[in-house]
Chains A and B, each alone.
Chain A
């Protein structure tokens, strides 16, 4: 009955494309296949009896409590208009340099990523904030849109991103499973903190590559990103710069530092970070009761959305496993000539393609639990695998014609910008992403060095 597993997977992709909410489509498709199997006598009804305790296990998952807390922090910072201030200050600081505005946008994207970690929101905010300014100052539409899309997706990889929290939770389970399968009954663990530490250098590497590229373009084709002549009297003082930069920077360093320094769990750091964000909003007089309600409401919606997908995905996985689907995947991956390298390449390619239709959350909860234990059994490092997946998906979200980031930006870009310009604009950044992936593949230490240094 192995083909049923494959059929189930194809069916769920097709059904998801119809556009009904993902959480219910995942759960419903799984259940329909299970019911049909029970009637046909090919599926053990007992597989479904563990469902309530699984759902309760999701409610009880301490690692993932960090997700709503980070979301709360991110939405609070967004409502407090931190991004606006940052962009304004940095661009008046660097704006008179050729390419300075582009670099400012990249840096703000990085800081925003580190403080919110929600991709769609970052691309939309940056698109609304910086695209009009960049165009007004004579930037070529390609450079402007490419920079915004690419920096907007940094939120997935730069810690503390909520995606790394989810990936960390899934990876930790997969790592246990892989080691138990190999007969290691005192398995080593991998944590969200490991993933944060592992993502730091690759994240900064990406930012470095983007900035280097922008500087290169500014030198070779200065007309595409002209310098801005500052009006006299409109220059910023050092105090203004400190005022705009210090609070978010302190918050990011405190949150990241306490996690990486082993002083706090991600959940604790997120809770304290959220209090910090509320204080920042208060200090800017940006916190009203109405806004607080909107922040809480937004946090509730994002967490419900994420965790209902997790519930849907876990029902789907239960049925997929019940039909022996994961055994089939294991056999296929093991049967590939070329061993772990070609298995990894195939999985990365598959995820890249799935990234066109599925969001990070679905891929993390549906696909990673199936393939990660197999790849880890083949000897890959869990942190390295997690970061490779994250950057791979980030690249996928940038790639035309289906990349999510492109859709988000298209939604807020003025009609004068053609879709072709956006596509051409992201191409160089896709090349940079692939280059970064290649570097991490050849030099895994870029990922593994810091976690080993910190956690031993």
Chain B
């Protein structure tokens, strides 16, 4: 069983990636603004710039998924959840990680492997003329493996934290009530 040290290392890793990738949101805005400016002020179309905004967007939500999980910002239907005790919530998280999150992440990784490998193997390039050069497209497709890998890791951290909370239930309250995230 992974220790709580592992959990905090995973949390730190997800947070680091999330905070770094977050800068891309600013870049998306800057590039969109420049694209509009070039088009309307100078009549220049920049396909690769326009395309790059779409790819940055994909990278943002895929690579940010784990840190969003860590921050408890993936929305829950919480009509019942919010009224549960700490223990009840921990149980939901244990079951949810094992039954939903892990199968999803592992299956997506398994299913995407050939898809991503094929893209690297054939040296895939953008369909649009003037689009992004090789190897950016295979690189972006690789996010299909990175996202589930990071989400699975963050799920592991969530599991460790929830189990620690369940184990601590018989002990006198010892700072175990802090919520994940």
Q: Interface SS of chain B: helix, strand, loop or mixed?
A: helix
Residue B169 is within 8 A (CB to CB) of chain A in the complex: no
Q: Can you list 26 contacts pairing A with B, beta carbon distance less than 8 Å?
A: A16-B77, A17-B79, A24-B96, A24-B100, A28-B96, A29-B100, A32-B103, A35-B103, A55-B144, A59-B61, A72-B25, A267-B53, A271-B36, A299-B25, A300-B18, A301-B67, A303-B25, A303-B64, A304-B61, A304-B74, A305-B73, A308-B74, A312-B104, A315-B104, A361-B75, A402-B79
Binding site for A on B (CB under 8 A): 18-19, 21-23, 25-26, 28-33, 35-36, 40, 53-55, 57-58, 60-62, 64-65, 67-69, 71, 73-82, 84, 89, 92-93, 95-96, 99-101, 103-104, 107-108, 111-112, 115-116, 140-141, 143-144
Q: How far is the CB of A361 from chain B (nearest CB, A)?
A: 8
A-chain residues with CB within 8 Å of residue B69 when the two chains form the complex = 21
Interface centre among A16, A31, A278 (most CB of B within 10 A): A31
Contacts A18-B96, A24-B96, A268-B35; A59 near B74 (Cβ below 8 A): no
Which A-chain residue is minimally distant from B19 (CB atoms)? A297
Inter-chain residue pair count (beta carbon < 8 A):
197
Contact in complex: B61, A69 (CB < 8 Å): no
Contact in complex: A271, B32 (CB < 8 Å): yes
**How far, in whole Å, are A263 and B40 apart by their CA atoms in the complex?**
9
Contact in complex: B58, A20 (CB < 8 Å): no
Which A-chain residue is minimally distant from B27 (CB atoms)? A296
Contact in complex: A264, B36 (CB < 8 Å): yes
Contact in complex: A23, B79 (CB < 8 Å): no
Contacts A271-B33, A309-B75, A402-B79; A296 near B23 (Cβ below 8 A): yes
Q: How far is the CB of B144 from chain A (nearest CB, A)?
A: 6
Question: Chain A, 25-69, contact with B by CB distance < 8 Å: what is the 0/1 string?
Answer: 101110110010000000000001101110110111110110011
Contact in complex: A22, B77 (CB < 8 Å): yes
Contact in complex: A303, B61 (CB < 8 Å): yes
**How far, in whole Å, are A174 and B124 apart by their CA atoms in the complex?**
30
Contact in complex: B104, A27 (CB < 8 Å): yes
- Checking A19, A72, A304 against B77 with a beta-carbon cut-off of 8 angstroms, the contacting residue is A19
Contact in complex: B65, A48 (CB < 8 Å): no
Contact in complex: B18, A52 (CB < 8 Å): no
Contact in complex: B36, A52 (CB < 8 Å): no
Contact in complex: B103, A359 (CB < 8 Å): no
Q: How far is the CB of A454 from chain B (nearest CB, A)?
A: 19
Contact in complex: A19, B84 (CB < 8 Å): yes
Q: How far is the CB of A301 from chain B (nearest CB, A)?
A: 4
A-chain residues with CB within 8 Å of residue B101 when the two chains form the complex = 20-21, 24, 28
Residue A272 is within 8 A (CB to CB) of chain B in the complex: yes
